[in-house]
Structure 1
């Protein structure tokens, strides 16, 4: 009997292997059809779930389902889905066909000639669908039930400024019946009643806004150039009474429209200065329903505004929950450019000054942000006083979600510390309490390098001190700071930090709902600290540390923005996520914070669980589940032990030769325990030799159970493609020591590859390496230290740490000095303190040792690593007559953004490794390159004799 079972099992294995061998590998033409899920949302009750499914290239679809996985509605080309608060209507944009948009782009049509969106309204009760459009955009109230507003271009009526009501069904923009365009069209805002299908047409409307409670629609009208009919202004439409009122008169810019929580008071910012005015002069207007018009509440002449300051039109307006305070922004009146100057007669020059707070490059990158920068102020409706809260010396204000409380916090960085951000990783800050009643400030912490977090009731401020690695709390009423984590024999700072900078915290797990304490994370467990410093409990009883399982609170944002999502209910079980550092498994636990020893495992499995959402009462959950073989489809669950699968969006995967992922462990030459992930083809045969590519960055094994979608690479290695096409791929973890990042790459990557090469199924003559950015640096270093690799591909590498040290990260304008002294490069010293260390870790100085053919990708719009680093590497190897190629995707970034470039590099990577590791003929770009005169005519992807 046992012999029969073994034979049967063997026959099954042979059949499975035969079936796998018959499956084709993933080709470049398969990518576009691979789909992904987005915008998944549970309704407040949890009765419905909706989401979008999008191919990498093509038309998306939106689906609405119930808990039992019944498909209620499917909208082809659906996008931005929304369910009304009463869960009766489902709305979705309907995008034009991908082919139509592509064709319009090819024909270089103007924006107003491009295919337009439409809007689909599905009645869940009657199952009826209405198509509205074409539209320019649509909005609903946050607590929507009955209305949607959208803008359209319609034929201009004979009487322009009338409100027209009709029950006609608007045309479906997706139908392409040919008709002659009208001579003139006009923008109209249409208010649509979802239940009655009635529409209200509001002509010449520009900006528009619903209050949260769906009582009012506010909209502005531009008016004609010569507004003889006095149309321009701001209007309020009463949705219940169906009446319209003009509340502010005149042409201008109306923005930052906001209501208080009860929709009883309306504020907005408006600039009515002449159109050609060089300085905008925004004023804050206030309207309530006891007055006919909105009145100026605050302008630049109001008491409390500093001299030469004004109201910022770029700042948000927000009410406190009780409606008694209005938060706004003030700003210095900007200098005005002299328009009488003739531009071509004057120099354009940047003056770099050694005492500037920030480098000129940072200033230039942030010009727009600085011009729009505002400084927090508050207006008290009861006292009718305006109080500036911060000025240019302070950072932004941090308040509670309700903003009812008196106290807020802010920070200040000294000029000395601002300058030091050129080479430091973070800056010490002074922390201040700010009174929202009188604007007074109180210094409560000096030179804090770390975190300052205001409690939900604005009664405490939590501090994490990175220099000490400890938590403490400042009691606002008693004005005392109390240590919380001191004396405990575990670290609350990142234990795995291997950079030459101070470690940050593991974060706050949540606040106690009684306001008497806080929960914080260490590496594995959750602790409770009472604010009086007397109680210090490990609420997970050290289970995480004992079992090397990382436990984290799973918090869900409330749909009500006033309700803090991180206040923990001690009366109900709290959901925790888990990650097992030993097995790499993920899962869920629950715990009742009011009971001892209540931690219970729900599930741990060889999966990753992501994109977890909940309904309002946290009674049902949606999430994705994945591993290397299992696509992250969408599931519903109530208990995390049973899962109801909602989607199966990539069934085509089973038709391709896929692969497996396994954890590999070895010991490095210096005796370090090491780990990595080995990916094998599905049709793997142990008696066959395979080429192998090592792909690395820092650590990857935490993603052992991640899915790798076959999608054109932004410049990394597409693991699923290469595995499917008969390669082994190895992703080793790398651990670092300060001063020797290059040696760390040698220690872990080379030893891991040599360890695998002991297996008969690894072809040690056909090994390669690939890395991007930091991984690209490590590739460049390794090929100067060993000849064990038959090919190498490096993306955006730093090869000269001496020149890169003085370079700029162009996307942010920041100096790169901090990168080498304190951050990822991990040198831990300035160039002048240890120049030999910089040279030792700079591959450029050792390019004469290279024997490995290497392809470099470095783009001329790289915002992280200056692309001259790639040029330095290329020109050095070219002079040394080493086989080298440089790919510069014009105008693209550090990681490729443009899809056509991603597709291109994916093909070239495959051709490069196929040639050097599989012996396939070289493509033309490898053999002879592409001359500049042939750019855009030939791409060199062909293989010719």
Structure 2
């Protein structure tokens, strides 16, 4: 290279470096407009793609494109779009403007005064301007829609004043009140014609689009409305309307049989003010004048003091012979004659309760609507056959529901142990849908039960023995599925005291005779008849190459009963994850006859995969740390990729960053990995402050995009990287009984490795940040080392002895299971391992802390009792250590309210900027914000 060329190269390098240096860092004003792909859909034909682009705050946009990336339609605020099955029409909702909703909330408008949705209809063939309909409450299309959409809209009409003696004079004195009516519009898409039904409240399509079922509830003070109240069936073909059930009431749980010849529903026809509403079950076919009653409290088979549930969905078996329903105990009702303020309000906790009282209260609404499965044969029998009762917790049926056998599970008698075990042992029964007879087929199972697609076999996973087995339901015989196979089918990396979980069922063969089960890397086929030996459909290639294969069902089966059930015998589509490189991609495999065939592997992450009906076209989003997840369309061979979106072009205008994998060896000789994030304008000759962010294992997300966003409480990695920080995310492996030491082993050694091997790491300006379990580890680390110049902990447990007996208020569950069997990893109860609970409790070692630390813990934390944060704060305050506590009033474990998320981003940046970069401290750090200034001064100024 001559001198001139060298000079040109030097100048171009200088210019490119200068261009990078000139990019501004991210600031807190950028969040709202950063976008993501919401829903993404490919038409069955593969000709059209429609998707939403959603900003973090503001109005989304719906776009419709063809497979050549031609934009056909853009719909501001479009939502919930669907294409008719013939690709002729796009139907979508339109949300109100974000600004209009915000303004209405500011003015505290009532729900019926809030801005309403609209409906859009677009003709893909004519490409005429879309039709729009206002004040829409809901819309529905049939499963096999082609020509119609039904939508419920509000219409305001003036009240009738004709009954007044002098209507004109009366009108002058009292303006007519507008009265809102709901109208069901049946829109014929090709012509735009509508058929309207006034006063409708519930409606449902038959799958074939030939019948529309709807109810009119009726109003007490309107005689015409009361006369019209009932359930109607509208025949789309001959435009005939038939009232199939009479009377004012509530009609719901509409269900058509698969061939659309039968329908069923439940109805309560009494007074709405009745506290105890008895719903009754009705059945209708075309040869009946009206729906007939087939199930109520007095029906044969219904247990004493039980009735038909109004909350359980109804489902016909595929052959139409059976109807699955729900039964429920008749509830006790409150005595409304009692004077409320004269009676005590209390909760009574009993040591023999199945579930703790707080858990019962959290689940109260669910329990009030809980139902228990039963079956009725509406064509031939008036008897209801219960399949389960309150001692059972799950009923497992086949997709079709045709078969005689179902499985029911019961953890009755074992529920109290969930307080410390989390999971419970269950008895498994086969139940006949013909007689209701129960037969025990597995006892005290700690695991899962599955039913084959034709109910020939049950398949069990037992955590206690780490084994899979099958049970022949016809012959009542059980056998092991993988005896003699030297491969583990449970989590090989489990580092919790609890028994390891399985990798799960991947699917079934079409004939239901083969179950496919995952191991860590491969997918195994087990012939339930015993005629074939087990084999891996991935030929063991996954374990050999350390690639995790998982089956994906790309079938476009419209009937939801059969989605994602079956695997293909040939050319099965697989997702792939390379455990070593962290790359992702796709393979195909032909039933174990050869190694899986690579379609695509890249240093990317792929999501939202969907295929056309002929599997010729696929769509997906693709991302890595540097590239936002955009939508692409490709051939099934992945050789014709076309990019459909470019949603965050503004990113190019900011200093971004890079992500790389780092490896080191811990002091105890363990191989360790982590992700190191660097600024885009990284200069190896500079010194950078570094923040470690951690939880458990994070490196599988090496190629995951992280949008700059006000996060619930985790570290906003792109913001800090953009603003001149290094961020390090190490993986952590744990040893039972010593979770705190594991944090030291991996986090501290990883940070020391980076400082020792890289001159650009400023070892005097190291920070740590963690939330929840990460927050605990932050609290522990600062009691064991002074190597960190600043620490931020969110919702930390600092006193395991008091937290052990606490409640997770979000679920109402005891926290004991967490310490004995799961994340906190002590492995024993408090009385067996008192010393370990103390050793792993940072509170008892707060006198060693010399690191400035911020605690975020909120008063409505549903996972970690917020007194844990208070215990840490008051301890450090008593010891006169620099500590701050942030309590976002009324917010949860992870921040829910966006204004709070935005606030914490600013404070976290200010905190680390001060202690790791030497910038001036804001008022909230130097002197705090007294209660008298709350809501007036937020203390953010310097």
Instruction: Determine if the TM-score, normalized by the shorter chain, exceeds 0.5.
Output: yes
**Contact 1:401/1:564 (<8 A) preserved:** no
CA, structure 1 residues 345+527, in 2 after alignment: closer, same or farther (shift >3 Å)? same
Q: TM-score, normalised by structure 1?
A: 0.95
CA, structure 1 residues 155+837, in 2 after alignment: closer, same or farther (shift >3 Å)? closer
CA offset digits 1:110-134 (Å, max 9, x no partner): 2222222111111001112111112
State the partner residue of 2:165: none
State the partner residue of 1:933: 932
1:341 Cα deviation after fit: 1.6
**Contact 2:730/2:746 (<8 A) preserved:** yes
State the partner residue of 1:214: 209
2:476 corresponds to 1:475: no
CA offset digits 1:712-743 (Å, max 9, x no partner): 11000010010001000000000000000000
**Contact 2:858/2:893 (<8 A) preserved:** yes
State the partner residue of 2:761: 762
* Pairing 1:7-22 to 2, within 5 Å after superposition: 11-22=11-22
2:684 corresponds to 1:686: yes
User: For 2:898 and 2:482, how far apart are their aligned partners in 1?
Assistant: 49
* Pairing 1:336-351 to 2, within 5 Å after superposition: 336-351=333-348
State the partner residue of 2:183: 188
Secondary structure of the structure 2 residue equivalent to 1:421 = helix
User: For 2:195 and 2:366, how far apart are their aligned partners in 1?
Assistant: 38
1:136 Cα deviation after fit: 2.0
State the partner residue of 1:657: 655
1:406 Cα deviation after fit: 0.8
CA, structure 1 residues 89+845, in 2 after alignment: closer, same or farther (shift >3 Å)? same
1:614 Cα deviation after fit: 1.9
CA offset digits 1:816-874 (Å, max 9, x no partner): 00000000000001100010000000000001110000001111111111111001001
> How many equivalent pairs are there?
921
2:853 corresponds to 1:847: no
User: For 1:151 and 1:289, how far apart are their aligned partners in 2?
Assistant: 26
Alignment equivalent of 1:458, drawn from 455, 458, 461 = 455
State the partner residue of 1:164: none
State the partner residue of 2:135: 134
CA offset digits 1:529-551 (Å, max 9, x no partner): 22144502133232211221111
State the partner residue of 2:148: 147
Secondary structure of the structure 1 residue equivalent to 2:40 = strand
The worse-fitting range, judged by mean Cα deviation, of 680-689 and 258-267 is 258-267
**Contact 1:155/1:182 (<8 A) preserved:** no
User: For 1:110 and 1:159, how far apart are their aligned partners in 2?
Assistant: 24
State the partner residue of 1:702: 700
Secondary structure of the structure 1 residue equivalent to 2:320 = coil
CA offset digits 1:683-712 (Å, max 9, x no partner): 000010000000000001001011011111
State the partner residue of 2:608: 611
Q: Which runs of 5+ in 1 are unaligned?
A: 161-179
Secondary structure of the structure 2 residue equivalent to 1:729 = strand
**Contact 2:250/2:269 (<8 A) preserved:** yes
State the partner residue of 1:73: 73
User: For 1:60 and 1:39, how far apart are their aligned partners in 2?
Assistant: 11
Secondary structure of the structure 1 residue equivalent to 2:228 = coil
State the partner residue of 2:218: 223
CA offset digits 1:772-812 (Å, max 9, x no partner): 00000000000000011010000010000000000000011
State the partner residue of 2:386: 388
CA offset digits 1:308-349 (Å, max 9, x no partner): 111110111110001110000011111122222211111111
Alignment equivalent of 1:198, drawn from 193, 196, 202 = 193
State the partner residue of 2:715: 717
1:2 Cα deviation after fit: 9.2
**Contact 1:692/1:762 (<8 A) preserved:** yes
**Contact 1:772/1:797 (<8 A) preserved:** yes
User: For 2:179 and 2:593, how far apart are their aligned partners in 1?
Assistant: 73
CA, structure 1 residues 218+840, in 2 after alignment: closer, same or farther (shift >3 Å)? same
Secondary structure of the structure 2 residue equivalent to 1:847 = helix
User: For 1:875 and 1:329, how far apart are their aligned partners in 2?
Assistant: 52
The worse-fitting range, judged by mean Cα deviation, of 241-250 and 635-644 is 635-644
The worse-fitting range, judged by mean Cα deviation, of 386-395 and 103-112 is 103-112
Alignment equivalent of 1:362, drawn from 339, 359, 363 = 359
1:432 Cα deviation after fit: 0.7
State the partner residue of 2:167: none
State the partner residue of 2:918: 919
State the partner residue of 2:896: 897
* Pairing 1:41-190 to 2, within 5 Å after superposition: 41-128=41-128, 129-156=130-157, 183-190=178-185
* Pairing 1:863-902 to 2, within 5 Å after superposition: 863-902=862-901
User: For 1:734 and 1:3, how far apart are their aligned partners in 2?
Assistant: 51
**Contact 2:429/2:439 (<8 A) preserved:** yes
Secondary structure of the structure 2 residue equivalent to 1:871 = helix
User: For 1:641 and 1:862, how far apart are their aligned partners in 2?
Assistant: 49
User: For 1:848 and 1:831, how far apart are their aligned partners in 2?
Assistant: 24
**Contact 2:230/2:248 (<8 A) preserved:** yes
Secondary structure of the structure 2 residue equivalent to 1:780 = helix
The worse-fitting range, judged by mean Cα deviation, of 810-819 and 140-149 is 140-149
CA, structure 1 residues 641+566, in 2 after alignment: closer, same or farther (shift >3 Å)? farther
User: For 2:374 and 2:546, how far apart are their aligned partners in 1?
Assistant: 48
**Contact 1:61/1:74 (<8 A) preserved:** yes
**Contact 2:95/2:117 (<8 A) preserved:** yes
Alignment equivalent of 2:618, drawn from 584, 603, 621 = 621
State the partner residue of 1:410: 408
State the partner residue of 2:430: 433
Q: Which runs of 5+ in 2 are unaligned?
A: 162-174
2:51 corresponds to 1:32: no
1:559 Cα deviation after fit: 2.2
1:427 Cα deviation after fit: 1.0
Alignment equivalent of 1:588, drawn from 581, 586, 589 = 586
State the partner residue of 1:860: 859
**Contact 2:158/2:177 (<8 A) preserved:** no
Q: TM-score, normalised by structure 2?
A: 0.96
The worse-fitting range, judged by mean Cα deviation, of 69-78 and 221-230 is 221-230
1:155 Cα deviation after fit: 4.0
State the partner residue of 1:176: none
CA, structure 1 residues 211+3, in 2 after alignment: closer, same or farther (shift >3 Å)? farther
1:598 Cα deviation after fit: 4.2
2:542 corresponds to 1:544: yes
User: For 1:10 and 1:425, how far apart are their aligned partners in 2?
Assistant: 63
User: For 1:441 and 1:36, how far apart are their aligned partners in 2?
Assistant: 50
1:159 Cα deviation after fit: 9.8
2:771 corresponds to 1:776: no
1:466 Cα deviation after fit: 0.9
State the partner residue of 2:172: none
1:240 Cα deviation after fit: 1.5
**Contact 1:603/1:641 (<8 A) preserved:** no
CA, structure 1 residues 698+13, in 2 after alignment: closer, same or farther (shift >3 Å)? farther
2:261 corresponds to 1:260: no
User: For 1:405 and 1:159, how far apart are their aligned partners in 2?
Assistant: 57
**Contact 2:294/2:378 (<8 A) preserved:** no
CA, structure 1 residues 26+424, in 2 after alignment: closer, same or farther (shift >3 Å)? same
1:10 Cα deviation after fit: 5.4
Secondary structure of the structure 1 residue equivalent to 2:419 = coil
User: For 1:228 and 1:658, how far apart are their aligned partners in 2?
Assistant: 68
